[in-house]
Structure 1
Amino acid sequence: MRAIVIEHRSDVAVLQLCGELDADTAARLYTALADLLERPVPRIVVDLTALKFCDSVGLSAFITSKQVIAARGGWLSFAGADPFLAQLLETVGLGRYFAIFPEVEDAIAAAQL
């Protein structure tokens, strides 16, 4: 899995994930988020458009990251999940825990409200 910050504004960062997020690659997600978590109030949109697979370890990484971000007054949202991943997030109940948007632009626009 690759994790790239593709947009880094003063108010919102977009983290694009590409490939497979699993036990072998979850550490890369934590590393990518580490710099973003240093912001005074981290606001992060995770672009899932190019994420092809996510297992329970990957989901756990998202939950742990959200807890740290929320403790700092920020937020973490998802955008661009394919139908399988969107259904997975809903099935495991994360649709109530995370804001999930169809497109990155939608997530950024919601941040501006």
Structure 2
Amino acid sequence: MVSGVTRRSGEEPAAGGERFGVATRHRGGTVVISLSGELDHDTAEPLRHALAQEVRAGARRIVVDCGGLHFCDSTGLNVLLHGRLDAQEGGGRVDLAALRPPVARMFEITGAQAVFRLYAGVDEALADERTL
């Protein structure tokens, strides 16, 4: 597990008392990266690192589980978009699962939902066997 930035006073902690957390696991041929807490300018580096590491390792499919993500700003969105492009260059893809309403709204407003495959949950994403 890659951990994130320690929470600041008044903010809801992610799992383990951190402000943001990233956990990676492998499910069959798919990498699942689970996010928790707040993804923003101050916390984006662990996600950037996790995506880059999996792309360098040759992951063909990465599902980002956003079920524990409470907030995402433009920096977080850019990390996900760049991760998607990096994966595509290597012949892979990045999909998103379990977007909560505030995070989903940002993807709608920016039009970013059009470039990702979106799933209601991780199980649904893993069950989708469409080719890249």
Identity %: 34
**Residue from 87, 101, 104 that aligns with 2:119:** 101
TM-score (norm 2): 0.79
1:88 aligns to what? 106
Distance 2:73 2:100 in 1: 15
**Residue from 3, 6, 15 that aligns with 2:33:** 15
State whether residues 95 and 117 of structure 2, in contact with CA within 8 Å, keep that contact through their aligned partners in structure 1. yes
2:60 aligns to what? 42
Return the index of the structure with the highest Cα Rg. Answer: 2
Cα deviation for residue 73 of structure 1 reads: 0.8
Question: What are the ranges of 5 or more consecutive residues in structure 2 without an aligned counterpart?
Answer: 1-19
Question: What are the ranges of 5 or more consecutive residues in structure 1 without an aligned counterpart?
Answer: none
**Residue from 76, 86, 91 that aligns with 1:73:** 91
1:57 aligns to what? 75
Q: Which runs of 4+ in 1 moved over 6 A?
A: none
TM-score (norm 1): 0.91
